[in-house]
Amino acid sequence: METYGIEKYGIMNPKSVSRNLSPAVLVETALKTEPARLTDKGALLIETGKYTGRSPKDRFIADEPEITNEINWGAENKKIAPETFERIYGKVAAYLSNRDLYVFDGFAGADHKFRIAVRVINEFASQNLFMHDMLIRPEEKELKNYKEDFTVICAPGLKLDAAKEGINSEAAILVSFTKKLVLIAGSKYCGEMKKSVFSVMNYLLPKKGVLGMHCSANMAQDGSGNTALFFGLSGTGKTTLSADPNRGLIGDDEHGWGDDGIFNIEGGCYAKCIDLSAEKEPEIFGAIRHGAVMENVIVNSDTRVPDFTDKTLTENTRVAYPIDFIPNAVIPGVGGHPNTVIFLTADAYGVLPPVSKLTNEQAMYYFVSGYTSKVAGTERGITDPVCTFSTCFGSPFLPLDSSVYAELLGEKIKKHGSNVYLINTGWTGGAYGVGKRMSLPATRAIVTAALNGELAKVEYETEPFFGLAVPKTCPGVDSGILNPKSVWKDKKEYDRLAKKLAGEFVQNFKKYTHMPANIVNAGPKA
């Protein structure tokens, strides 16, 4: 029996080892060996149990001498002793021994200069199909002399003893950069595998002068090479605004910016399904077919038609599919240096402009801040929105200090002349509960004007609270809404909340102790 060398991971005497099986065979196997079903369009449907999303408190990095001074240790990058890693590694290997196992050998990084070979070893065929969809799939000739650079070993059925192992729960997501190994135990949520690979790339790429980015990317289809990046946290409209039928989709979530331009790190997409409809997101809706993997979506037991509004298991329902399931996908996923970089924020305070053009230093400041906000809570006395900051729009996936990523972004936008815009898709005319959500057609018009270069040509004025350059006009948009204060009835309340939000930015930025002064000084002066 061919084992493809998995003995070197301590996995002994497997019942069988299947490598790079076709989607059809993986689907058949999952239906036979797992609690899995088919939906009406042929997608494979699984449930992930108690873990229906990533588990940040269960993610650790081995504190090895070779890398200990490189890692930005803290709540996001928690230390685990090398001996603890080794002990859990032994338990994962022992658990997977004597089982039927599934190996997928693929790549991360569409730019061949920066790609790494990633081997994934799975307990479940469904998870192997997920990684078949998410990684870049090799050609047959590339498998003959394939040698992995990093390995992900996934054993969801292994429940660990938290007290005994010195971890936080029965689940563990462990990374060893010196052993070039990721261990996932206890959680069947597929996103842990995908994001572990992204974290590895965000450690490796900056060493080569490449910026890893948690963003989507698209490009013009007219041969001009006009490309754009869209950064934004959940609820900001990143997926909706970057999914443009008139532009090619380079990728929906993870990219690198290297010497020759931008490239997709992945070979697939991992889209949210909640409230999905054919009318609003036809490309994603159409991608849910044979070969796709759906997580925690409720379906009609007779017809197997999904109910995308049903949140019974989780609001974080998901589907993974190869990017070539999208009609306007760019294959391979590479593009030129971006003409336009867009930071999306859903400001529930209603005080940020619908669009502002950022200087190089401001771009680094707002990139590091990664701001959006949530609506006010339901607790008595809580009336103001709640700020959310995520470093570089992806703090859980950044092993190095934030200044590394910020300075790389600054270098690249300066070198390549990229225009950077902060676009508010949140509230206008008042905070949440008083104002209204920014009009989607107006936001689309702003994005279009940014992408085609028109916004770079208009006259700007500087607003007083954040020092942001606000356009006086924007093609296709009512000029009256561009200055946020002008559409507020209660000007004093606008001033209060603008000062409050500016103060939140300043307070949040204090934690970035290694940030250069020019970036710190580009923020609000509250």
Residues 6+ positions from 170 with CB-CB distance below 8 Å: 159, 160, 161, 162, 186
Catalytic residue among 19, 54, 132, 337: 54
What DSSP letter does each residue of 87-133 carry, written as one string?
A: HHHHHHHHHHTTSEEEEEEEEE-SSTTT-EEEEEEESSHHHHHHHHH
- CB burial of residue 483 (10 Å; 0-12, 13-18, 19+): middle
Catalytic residue among 247, 318, 357, 412: 318
Q: Which residues pair with residue 373 across a beta bridge? A: 387
Q: Which residue has the tokens 């930071």?
A: 343
Catalytic residue among 105, 111, 253, 384: 253
The answer, yes or no, to whether the previous bond of 396 is cis (omega within 30 of 0) is no
| Catalytic (active site) residue 340 | no
Radius of gyration of the chain (CA): 23
Catalytic residue among 238, 337, 357, 412: 238
Task: At 243, list the tokens.
Answer: 């999914």
Catalytic residue among 39, 55, 126, 239: 239
| Catalytic (active site) residue 486 | no
| Catalytic (active site) residue 87 | no
Catalytic residue among 19, 119, 195, 255: 195
Q: Which residues pair with residue 152 across a beta bridge? A: 120, 182
Instruction: Judge whether 72 and 80 are in contact, CB under 8 Å.
Output: no
CB atoms within 10 A of CB 396: 16
Q: Which residues pair with residue 231 across a beta bridge? A: 343
End-to-end CA distance of the chain: 67
| Catalytic (active site) residue 239 | yes
Task: At 330, list the tokens.
Answer: 């760019």
| Catalytic (active site) residue 132 | no
Catalytic residue among 194, 214, 255, 337: 214
Catalytic residue among 224, 234, 309, 479: 234
- Cα 258 → chain centroid: 18
Phi-psi region of 266 (alpha: psi -120 to 50; beta: other; left: phi over 0): beta
| Catalytic (active site) residue 234 | yes
Instruction: Judge whether 168 and 78 are in contact, CB under 8 Å.
Output: no
* Phi, psi at 433, each rounded to 5°: 100, -20
Distance CA(343)–CA(347), nearest Å, equals 12
> Helix, strand, or coil here: 418?
coil
| Catalytic (active site) residue 214 | yes
* Catalytic residue list: 54, 195, 214, 234, 238-239, 253, 318
